[in-house]
Every structure is written in C-alpha cells, then in structure tokens.
Structure 1
Amino acid sequence: MQLKKFDQINVIPFIDIMLVLLVIVLTTATFIAKGAIPLDLPKAGSAKNLPVKKIELSITKDGKIFYFKDPVTLATLKNKLLSLNKKSNILIRTDKNAKFEVFIEVLDLLKTEGFTNIAVETVK
C-alpha cells in the first residue's frame, strides 16, 4: 500500500479552530471589561473623574452590598472598615434602582467609622 503525496496542506480545520478561539477570547474579554457586578449607574451633570480608587463598595438593585467583588453584610463591612486607614479613598457604586435606605446605611456606617474621602460613582 502506497501513501499519496499531498501537494498542498489542508488549512481549513486550522482556520475553524482559530475562529472558535477568537470567539472565546472576544466573549470573555467583554465580561472582563464590564465587571462582575452588573449595575445601572445613575447619571449626574457635574460628574468628575477621580484619581485611582482604593476601596470600592457596590450596592445592587436588590440591596446586596459588595466589598470590591465580595458580598458582605453591614456587620462584616464594619469589621473590614476597622482595619483600614480613615483617609482611604472610598468609591460607592450603587444601582439607580437600589433602595435608598441601603445606600444611607452604608454611608452612615462610613461616616460613623470616620471616613471622609467618600465618592459616589455616576455616569455623565
């Protein structure tokens, strides 16, 4: 039995694999760019860009609180804040449909613990 000699290399399977990998990379890149916690931020006319944020707190529309990307309760958040420098920059990201009560509870906790550099993220 003799083997046939190929005149050309079949690249179609290679192209198929590359296109599948491209789709996977583009799909994961969009999730990374958006962030892990989906929020619909409120708009503000006087929004300013702030320097690099140190601490990020997020409040979802159903009232859940996140310390960076970790879900926390108010009691857990208080314990985490005790170990931080009181001059740390704190960014609060809250969904525009979130209960205002949860936002006030978080803000009150920050003020009670002595934090003064607090910002609320909005969209222009």
Structure 2
Amino acid sequence: MQGPFNRSSNSKPMAEINVVPFIDIMLVLLVVFMITAPMLTQGVQVDLPQVSSQPIDSQEDNDPIVISVDREGEYFITLGEDSTSVTLNEMSQRVVTILERRPGTPVMVRGDRNVQYGQIVVLMSTLQGAGVANVGLLSEPSQDGEG
C-alpha cells in the first residue's frame, strides 16, 4: 500500500531546511529598514514661518516662558515680569519645574541676531530634553515692511 503516510524503507527523511521563505522575509525587512533609516536622524523640530508671521494671542492667566540668549551667549529665563540669568542646566531644571506646576505653558526663545546658530540649537535641544514639545521663536517686526 503506497499512501502519503506509508513510508517506504528505501526513502530517508528530508534533512534540508527550505530557506526561501526566510530569504523573502529578510528582503522585506531590508526594504523596510532602508526606507525608515533616513527618518531616524536626530534633530530639533522647528516650525519656521513661511513669509510673514502673525502676533501670538496672549492669554492673561498663562504667561509664556521666554528663554533669551544675549550677544555674549548668556541665558535668561523670563516668566511674567521676573527675569533671571541662568546656566543651561539651571534653565532646564526651572522649565521642568514650571511645566510640572502649569502644564501647557508656552515656551518662547528670543535670541540675539549675533548669537551663533549652534547655541540656539543646543538651547532648543535642551528644552526638548526637558519635555517641551513646541518651542516658539520670537522676532522683531521688519522695519521696511517686508514680510
């Protein structure tokens, strides 16, 4: 009787592993990682204005935290009328404390035009590490009326 479950004494069990399905899976994973790898670069997310910006509507009960960087590269934190000179680490700790007490407080960065771009990036990265999801950039209106 020759059936699919009847073993003949001449045939040996197959000892090979079919690797074709594993190759297919590996190729799919390779394509997925090739597509997602460029998206994993680190950076500070900033929404830059297009051409012109509108003034921010201020809320009376929720003063923004304003982090200022002056020409010499010193940091200042301002909440309401109180402005204090701080180091980068102190600023991070104070922002965390303020956001714990008043979540949803907007955070704004005001930088002198002569400050190096890298210092603003370090500041924004530190704010992101402190749990600030969105950072606004403050600027002066253009003197010549352009956008």
TM range (shorter): 0.5 to 0.7
Paired position in structure 2 for 1:110: 127
Paired position in structure 1 for 2:92: 78
The answer on whether the counterparts of 1:88 and 1:117 sit within 8 Å (CA) in structure 2 is no
Unaligned runs of 5+ in 2: 1-49, 142-147
| Structure 1 residues 75-107: Cα deviation after superposition (integer angstroms, max 9, x where no partner) | 111110221225220111111111212211110
Q: What is the one-letter code of the residue matched to 1:91? A: M
| Structure 1 residues 41-62: Cα deviation after superposition (integer angstroms, max 9, x where no partner) | xxx9422211224211110111
The answer on whether the counterparts of 2:96 and 2:131 sit within 8 Å (CA) in structure 1 is no
The farther-off stretch of 63-72 and 84-93 is 84-93
Whichever of the two has the greater Rg, that structure is: 2
1:59 aligns with 2:65: no
| Matched residue count | 81
1:25-104 mapped onto 2 (5 Å cutoff) = 45-52=51-58, 53-68=63-78, 69-85=83-99, 86-104=103-121
Q: TM-score, normalised by structure 2?
A: 0.50
Following TM superposition, where does structure 1 have runs of at least 4 consecutive aligned residues deviating by more than 6 angstroms?
A: none
What is the alpha-carbon distance in structure 1 between the residues aligned to residue 66 and residue 135 of structure 2? 10
Q: What is the one-letter code of the residue matched to 1:121? A: L
What is the identity percentage for the equivalent residue pairs of Structure 1 and Structure 2?
17
Q: TM-score, normalised by structure 1?
A: 0.58
Which structure carries more relative contact order (alpha carbon 8 Å, separation 6+)?
Answer: 1
**Any idea what SS the aligned residue of 1:116 has?**
coil
Unaligned runs of 5+ in 1: 1-43
